[in-house]
Homo-oligomer: A and B are copies of this chain.
């Protein structure tokens, strides 16, 4: 079942359930590339170990590892989901259309520019399958969200990792120049794991200067949490640019386990995603997502809740002179002054499950904003572990 976990979770499990040596082995398998499946026989054989690792997590542990939202779905979304369960014997024709309608109105894009999915990982994977190939590379930031790179490796596409600028913004100039035959330039905004944002002007510059035929894949999974929400890039979709925007209901909307997301792009671009998978979305996720989009003050309210918690954590880190990267999202990177996996293990002993690290910054650990009480426990554990 390893493959059934979110990439967020896979890395977490590897970190915990595996020794560092076996982790390295899996990483090798993951990067062996091309015709190999992501996880091979050896990886499968070790699933029992992972499962143990997973279920050994104490039930009272704080889970700030996978950029999840402890608030869960908003009341309107929860109500809509409760109300549809008994009708779940039918496939549900109208529910995806109703989500599309709601998104179309809020985002100012035509309905045929919106395609609903059961989350945003599916369209991300499909976009790589459809637009990359052994001769068309996948260009991403480093550090950046890894999932698209995995899909690219599977089909034998080169993965080009372009380091973030010193201010942790995507280096769009270098990304655009990286490969004249790029299939996809992938920008996660705000970036996972840094929570830093790339200005709209940079996105526009990339669109104007990228090679023709290269898709700009803009992952706005965390955009609702950021100040950049007001500068979100749906207008570039409406203007028929060669851009595809991914959105998920897993983050601000608190529906990670319930599954809803979407892709926005010109119909001819969206259409390329179609044959790479099947077109199912759970009716629960669809009605919950539509209700969430229609809930007028949900985005600013939850953004403020998350920002307040984040600012409190940053004040704490400042006060104790810890180094971190200022984030405008629900996660941030903190310098733990040792291999991040050792830190994660020590935090786990304090019943705090933190996020993973990236090879380019091995001493930085990713921390998700949990609830206020989660973060109080984080602070306490952090002081002990860093002492």
Chain A residues within 8 Å of B, Cβ to Cβ:
1, 3-6, 8-9, 37-41, 44, 47, 51, 54-55, 63, 66, 68-73, 78, 81-82, 84-97, 100, 112, 115-116, 118-119, 121-122, 124-125, 147, 151, 154, 250, 254-259, 267-268, 271-272, 274-275, 277-285, 288
Q: How many copies does the complex hold?
A: 2
**Which of B3, B47, B66, B284 is within 8 Å of A81, CB to CB?**
B284
Nearest-Cβ distance from residue A129 to partner chain B, whole angstroms: 9
- How distant is the Cα of A229 from the Cα of B47 in the complex, in angstroms? 31
Asked whether B8 lies within 8 Å of A91 as measured between CB atoms, the reply is yes
19 new A-B contacts, CB < 8 A, other than A85-B284, A122-B280, are A4-B281, A8-B91, A38-B275, A39-B271, A41-B267, A41-B268, A47-B112, A54-B97, A68-B90, A72-B86, A73-B85, A84-B257, A89-B254, A92-B256, A95-B257, A154-B275, A257-B284, A258-B282, A259-B281
Asked whether A1 lies within 8 Å of B257 as measured between CB atoms, the reply is no
Q: Nearest 4 pairs between A and B by C-beta?
A: A4-B279, A257-B283, A89-B254, A72-B89
**Which of B87, B122, B285 is within 8 Å of A282, CB to CB?**
B285
**Which of B93, B118, B267, B275 is within 8 Å of A5, CB to CB?**
B93
Asked whether B257 lies within 8 Å of A89 as measured between CB atoms, the reply is yes
**Which of B68, B96, B259, B272 is within 8 Å of A1, CB to CB?**
B96
- How distant is the Cα of A3 from the Cα of B92 in the complex, in angstroms? 14
**Which of B3, B55, B91, B268 is within 8 Å of A256, CB to CB?**
B91
**Which of B70, B86, B275 is within 8 Å of A89, CB to CB?**
B70
Nearest-Cβ distance from residue A141 to partner chain B, whole angstroms: 21
- How distant is the Cα of A103 from the Cα of B277 in the complex, in angstroms? 25
**Which of B54, B257, B267 is within 8 Å of A88, CB to CB?**
B257
Given A88-B255, A122-B280, A94:B55 Cβ within 8 A? yes
**Which of B44, B47, B72, B122 is within 8 Å of A277, CB to CB?**
B122
- How distant is the Cα of A124 from the Cα of B301 in the complex, in angstroms? 42
Q: Using Cβ atoms and an 8 Å threshold, which residues of chain B touch A259?
A: 118, 280-282
- How distant is the Cα of A119 from the Cα of B88 in the complex, in angstroms? 13
Q: Using Cβ atoms and an 8 Å threshold, which residues of chain B touch A73?
A: 85-86, 88-89
Asked whether A6 lies within 8 Å of B88 as measured between CB atoms, the reply is no
Asked whether A121 lies within 8 Å of B85 as measured between CB atoms, the reply is no
- How distant is the Cα of A1 from the Cα of B99 in the complex, in angstroms? 11
- How distant is the Cα of A69 from the Cα of B73 in the complex, in angstroms? 28
Instruction: Name the residue on B nearest A258 (C-beta).
Output: B88
**Which of B84, B275, B280 is within 8 Å of A121, CB to CB?**
B280
- How distant is the Cα of A282 from the Cα of B119 in the complex, in angstroms? 10
Given A37-B274, A279-B4, A93:B9 Cβ within 8 A? yes
Given A47-B112, A54-B93, A91-B6, A119:B41 Cβ within 8 A? no
- How distant is the Cα of A62 from the Cα of B66 in the complex, in angstroms? 44
Asked whether A78 lies within 8 Å of B86 as measured between CB atoms, the reply is yes
Asked whether B258 lies within 8 Å of A284 as measured between CB atoms, the reply is yes
- How distant is the Cα of A92 from the Cα of B73 in the complex, in angstroms? 14
**Which of B44, B54, B125 is within 8 Å of A94, CB to CB?**
B54
Q: Using Cβ atoms and an 8 Å threshold, which residues of chain B touch A254?
A: 88-89
21 A–B contacts, CB within 8 A, in A order: A3-B115, A4-B115, A37-B272, A39-B274, A44-B271, A54-B94, A55-B94, A69-B89, A70-B89, A71-B89, A72-B89, A73-B86, A82-B85, A84-B257, A90-B256, A125-B278, A154-B275, A258-B282, A258-B283, A259-B282, A282-B285
